[in-house]
Amino acid sequence: MHNITNIDTLYCPNNEKFSQTWHGLQTITEEKEIALDGGNVPDVFCPMVEGQLNPSFDGQGIELTEDMQSEMKKWKLICADLRDNDKSNQIIPVHIPKSGYQIHQNKDLFDNLIQACQQVLGNKFQIATIGTLGGYKSFIVSISIEGMETFTLDGNDKFNQFFNLISSHDGSLASCIMLSVVRIVCQNTAEFSIQQSEQNGTRERIKHTVNSDISPQWIEQNLKSWINYTQVYKQTLQDIKREEMDLQKFRYFSAGIFSDKTSDKLSSQSFNRINDLESLFVRGQGNKGESEYDCYNAFTEYFTSGRGNGSGEKRKRFAKASFGRGADWKREAFEALKNRQELPKLIKRGEILFNDKVQFEIAKSKLN
Q: Between the ranges 159-163, 178-182, 202-206, 275-279, where is the mean pLDDT highest?
A: 275-279
What does the DSSP assignment read for 74-85? T-EEEEEE-TT-
* pLDDT value, residue 315: 43
What is the average pLDDT score of the chain? 82
Band (pLDDT 50/70/90 cuts) for residue 206 is confident
pLDDT value of residue 189: 64
* Strand residues in 104-156 grouped as ranges (E): 125-133, 138-145, 150-153
> Is 275 a residue whose pLDDT tops 90?
yes
249 burial level (CB within 10 Å; 0-12, 13-18, 19+):
middle
Q: Which of left, alpha, beta for 218 (phi over 0: left; psi -120 to 50: alpha)?
A: alpha
How high is the pLDDT of residue 196? Answer: 40
Whole-number Cα distances in Å, 257 to 188, 214, 266, 299:
19, 33, 10, 11
pLDDT tens per residue across span 99-144: 788 889 999 999 999 999 999 999 999 999 999 988 899 999 999 9
Q: What is the mean pLDDT of residues 80-85?
A: 82
Q: In the chain, what percentage of residues exceed pLDDT 90?
A: 37
Question: What pLDDT shows up at residue 176?
Answer: 85
First-to-last alpha carbon distance for the chain, in angstroms, is: 40
Whole-structure pTM over 0.85, yes or no?
no
Does the pLDDT at position 262 exceed 70? yes
Mean pLDDT for 76-93 is 80
CB atoms closer than 10 angstroms to residue 210: 8
Mean of pLDDT values over 8-15: 85
pLDDT tens per residue, range 246-260: 999 999 999 999 998
Asked if residue 170 has pLDDT above 60, the reply is: yes
Residue-level pLDDT at 347: 97
Check pLDDT > 70 for residue 88.
no
Backbone φ and ψ for 161, nearest 5 degrees, come out as -135, 145
Q: How far apart are CA 37 and CA 42, in angstroms?
A: 9
Higher model confidence: residue 35 or residue 204? 35
pLDDT, residue 2, reads 46
Q: Which of 110-124, 147-161, 189-203, 245-259 has the lowest mean pLDDT?
A: 189-203
pLDDT band at 45 (very low <50, low <70, confident <90, very high): very high
Residue 322's pLDDT is: 53
